[in-house]
Amino acid sequence: MEFLPLFHKLSDHPCLVVGGGVIASRRAHILLQAGADVTVISPEIDSTLQASVDDDKIKWIRSLFDVDALAPMQPKLRLIVAATDNDTVNQVVADYAADHNIPVNVASDASKGDVIFPSIIDRSPVIAAVASGSKSPVISRLLRGTIEAALPAHIGKLTDLAGEYRAKVKSVIGDMNRRRAFWERFFQGPAGAAALANDSDTARSMLEESLENFDADKHPGEVYLIGAGPGDPDLLTLKALRLIQQADVVFYDRLVSKPILDLCRRDAKLVDVGKARSNHTVPQDQINLKLVEFAQKGHRVLRLKGGDPFIFGRGGEELEELAKSDVPFQIVPGITAASGCAAYSGIPLTHRDYSQSVRFITGHLKNNTCDLPWHEYAHENQTLVFYMGLVGLPLICNSLIEHGMKAEMPIALVQKGTTPEQRVLVGTLETMPELVKQNEIKAPTLIIIGEVVNLHDKLAWYRSAE
């Protein structure tokens, strides 16, 4: 992150703009909107600045950049903007600001300053801003338009109402997590809708009623069992994203990618319960009990699993414990690794010419064996997908050949599918064990076996970081 986004209170504080052209005028008027006491220094100014000077909104020092002229205001300056059309002058201004520890924006070259002006969406007191590090103003403008369209016109009214009742709600609801849940129900419910419709009286009445009926003895905890998909955060469902951003406590597996974890609330408690082969950070029965424990304390608990929680994800075991303890829960399916990795590898799991069925198989069972009904798998015109089968790959390949599948049957290994680190290795049942040794394939890796693998070269579309 090159720039840390901050919101500065500039009301009645002196700010200096060096320059008198169009860019300087834009910067000056943004500062005016923030309530700053703006002074412009320039031999000449454009008509827009001149109008503001005439209206006594802006002070004008009619001269070149002059250090001596700044002496009286220098100790109180909160921000300097260098916006001339002369790079040398802009550099002098930037050096002056650095020498006096004053934040500076260099309009023509963001790298020479330490402040940038973002694209601003003003729904006061709600303010949103987006920036591209001054690398692409067009992107910033397009994003601003998207956010403008998404923000309700009266979101400020809703925010003012929340501010009005903030202290009262805190006095009634002492627990922070329960208070946060109360506000989210208010914002997303009929009271929030009334405020957004500019009906503050109705919204205020509903808020009062909710506070009067609040029961401090109830603990409305809940568990969200969510499939995070195979890695790409863009594959999350909208409901999954919403619940991820609401959760107070997050229990996550090792297959959940960092970009997805970054979507969680910053103040949420993150608990790593990742399980690798023969290395369980937290045993499954303890995970089950922890979900119950935190939910019964009133927390909104997120159980985040790679792929889909009901496909080799032990989601059913966890829900059995929740149901037994009368803990409410929601389930949000995710894109399982088979679908995600196959799609990002250009390998259709079914195809009229090659495969009329697909089977999802775990590569190791609960007793850590791979004792499977191989005779059912050794048929053509179907696709086999093995989860967690990398360690047992030689056994898988040999067993399928021994039970009648041809040694030339295509097989693909997809490592870290759908992520920038995705790798796809293609071979046959006969050659793949040796190819794995030569290419240092590591978990997590999905195994796809069947004639559909031959379509990889033709249909591969995803380009990983490699």
Are residues 290 and 373 both part of a single domain? no
Q: Is 23 annotated as a binding residue?
A: yes
Give the number of domains in the chain: 4
Residue 152 labelled as part of a binding site: no
Of 366, 341, 343, residue with least CA distance to 416: 341
CA distance 424 to 145: 39
Residue 300 lies in a domain: yes
Residues 363 and 449 grouped into a single domain? yes
Q: Among residues 57, 59, 269, 275, which one is catalytic?
A: 275
The tally of CA atoms less than 13 A away on the side-chain side of residue 261 is 16
Largest CA distance in the chain: 92
Confidence (pLDDT) at 182: 87
281 is in an annotated binding site: no
Task: Please pick, among 37, 232, 253, 290, the residue that the annotation labels catalytic.
Answer: 253
CATH number of the domain encompassing residue 286 = 3.40.1010.10
Phi, psi of 27 (to 5 degrees): -65, -45
* Domain stops at, among 83, 100, 117: 117
Is 253 tagged catalytic? yes
383 is an annotated ligand-binding site residue = no
Regions of the chain where pLDDT drops below 70: 216-220, 275-281, 364-370, 465-466
Identify whether residues 342 and 455 lie together within a single domain: yes
- Residue 418 known to bind ligand: no
Q: Based on the fold, state whether residues 358 and 403 are members of the same structural domain.
A: yes
The sign of the dihedral angle between the CA atoms of 241, 359, 367, 402 is negative
Q: Are residues 325 and 245 in the same domain?
A: yes
Residues 297 and 351 in one domain: no
Which residues 6+ apart lie within 8 Å of 125 measured at CB? 156, 159, 160, 163
Same domain (yes/no): 359, 324: no
**311 annotated binding-site participant:** yes
In a domain, 72, yes or no: yes
Whether 382 is in a domain gets the answer yes
CATH code of residue 61 = 3.40.50.720
The pLDDT value given to residue 52? 95
Q: Are residues 330 and 416 in the same domain?
A: no
What pLDDT is recorded for position 181? 83
User: Is 428 labelled a binding residue?
Assistant: no
Whether residue 319 is found in the same domain as residue 374 = no
In a domain, residue 135? The reply is no
> Residue 376's domain is classified under what CATH number?
3.30.950.10
Residue 379 lies in a domain: yes
363 annotated to a ligand binding site:
no
In a domain? residue 146 = no
Asked which of 288, 312, 335 is the last residue of a domain, the reply is: 335
> Quick one: 330 and 227 in the same domain?
yes
250 labelled ligand-binding:
no
Q: CA–CA separation, 283 vs 273, rounded Å?
A: 8
318 and 342 assigned to the same domain: no
Structural domain span for residue 64 = 14-117
Q: Is 385 part of any domain?
A: yes
5 in a labelled binding site? no
Say whether 275 is catalytic.
yes
- Is residue 138 situated within a structural domain? no
Bridge partners (DSSP) listed for residue 423? 415
pLDDT of residue 219: 63
Residues in the chain: 466
User: What's the confidence (pLDDT) of residue 333?
Assistant: 96
Q: Does 308 count as an annotated binding residue? A: yes
Q: Do 342 and 331 fall into the same domain?
A: no
